[in-house]
Amino acid sequence: MATAEISTVILPRSPQGEFRNEPFIDFSKHDNAHAMKEALERVGDLLGHEYEMVIGGERLRTADKIESHNPARPTQVIGIHQKAGAEHAEQAMQAALKAFATWKYVPLEERVSLLLNAAHIIRERKFEFCAWLTYEVGKNWAEADADVAETIDFLEFYAREALRLSKVTTPIQYPGERNELLHIPLGVGAVIPPWNFPFAIMAGMTAAAIVTGNTVILKPSTDAPTIAARFLDVLEEAGLPPGVVNLCQGGPAFGQAIVEHPKTRFISFTGSKKVGLEIHERAAKNQPGQIWIKRTILEMGGKDSIIVSADTELDEAVSGVIAAAFGFSGQKCSACSRAIVEEPLYDVFIDRIRERVAQLTVGDPAKNPNMGPVVNAAALQKIQGYIEIGKKEGRLIAGGNIVETPEKGYFLEPTVFADVAPDARISQEEIFGPVLAIIKAKDYDDALDIANNTEYGLTGAVYTNDPEKLNHARRAYHVGNLYFNRKCTGAMVGAHPFGGFNMSGTDSKAGGPEYLYLFTQAKSVAEKLR
């Protein structure tokens, strides 16, 4: 990498005390706001530099390039990256296989220390990484901070979980034997993260794989490759040996080659339903020389609902829906895209939503508005298409327009449709933008039926003061992450293991006590005592 210098490796760190979530930054404090502005200036001076592909610790360049652009200022280049093709897949695989031969035997404590060292480095440079997220994917300050904090949480949590997993044993000791249950690594895995949480999800999937002894071929999103390159710098500074993580920025051809490679042992993917299912299908086909069934760890889409019961605190429900629908311009798989409102509260709920949406600000995330841009021109066009569909399927009560800026950024107004049918396209299809559909329910049972009527099952929420309604939702609301009297976004590592049902993926429960099992295989060992 042309612009980064590897610092002296810090001393190995050990977990001290129980896991605690990383505190969020209070940007209302002058010192924090000033620090963020300074970080934006410093990082702004680093934009446009070129980053190498990293295979086996070696920096490589290709003739073809990938350019990352600021979605708020599309002419501004964030980073120039190499474009790995299918021809690089074998090179990356051989480097990862070579590293796996030794990495799988590295003492667990050293792998744990690597993650903790990385968490320490990121914590020390928190504002800097927030600035990179603001520039590369358009996150405002709070959204960027949440992404960075979750990155630190994943590193700290998986380090501790790896130590806990190493102590797991058989339920009983059979008389006359010594019985063990060893969780050993799988091998070389492909890690294919998304652009919307380009730091946290990318780092979390990578960290879970390597702390359990696997090696990784990391293919970041073409919309957020600079964050991945910066993360690899952190890992190397923290003590990462060559070949354990191989950074290959590339497009679909490279991704397909890695997924289909006979030596790929697992694929960890977060992204769209379409691509996730394609990966699952390709991984299921046995290739010549392949001696295992590839494991797929898939997090895909969502069509998430918040149920607003007639007995709830109205202002709380409105605030929760607004935050979940329009945070990061609705570009979260957990975002609330449907508010299902019981009939007695329906009209006043619409009035309150209209009032609150009118107060939201849209603009350059470096200036910290409520909403920044959508990620690219293709996303803008897709969302506009759904807005046109929504005009035919519902009643437009707010937004619906592009926000024009001198820099021609990809900005949309927060958009709300009322009187939407439960089976309408904007009620069923994932839009991934700042578009909310409001649906009227006859009663609570009807609301639950509507909430469960999509092919997805990721997140959901219920606002009600009735404990019986909450108990009913515990049993009947079919989502992987269910929230009561709070928004359906903002899963916290350790507290809210994240993953969904149905077409939302394989319910991997990232940030939970079961996640690391997905990157290991259990080996039972029985020794007869003499």
Which residues are tagged catalytic?
Answer: 299, 333
The C-alpha atoms of residue 497 and residue 515 are separated, in whole angstroms, by 9
Give rounded-to-5 percent helix, strand, coil for the chain. 40, 20, 40
Residue 62, token pair as written in the block? 């290709």
Based on its alpha-carbon atoms, the radius of gyration of the chain, rounded to whole angstroms, reads 23
Q: Closest Cα partner for 303 from 178, 459, 149? A: 459
Q: Closest Cα partner for 119 from 218, 19, 223? A: 19
**Contact of 94 with 101, CB cutoff 8 Å:** no
**Contact of 152 with 123, CB cutoff 8 Å:** yes
The C-alpha atoms of residue 365 and residue 161 are separated, in whole angstroms, by 35
Residue 350, token pair as written in the block? 């619409």
Query: In whole angstroms, how far apart are CA 70 and each of 33, 384, 449, 519?
Result: 21, 20, 41, 34
The C-alpha atoms of residue 258 and residue 443 are separated, in whole angstroms, by 49
DSSP helix/strand/coil, 269: strand
Query: In whole angstroms, how far apart are CA 478 and each of 241, 304, 369, 472, 511?
Result: 43, 11, 34, 11, 20
Q: Which residue has the tokens 């080996």?
A: 523
The C-alpha atoms of residue 442 and residue 55 are separated, in whole angstroms, by 58
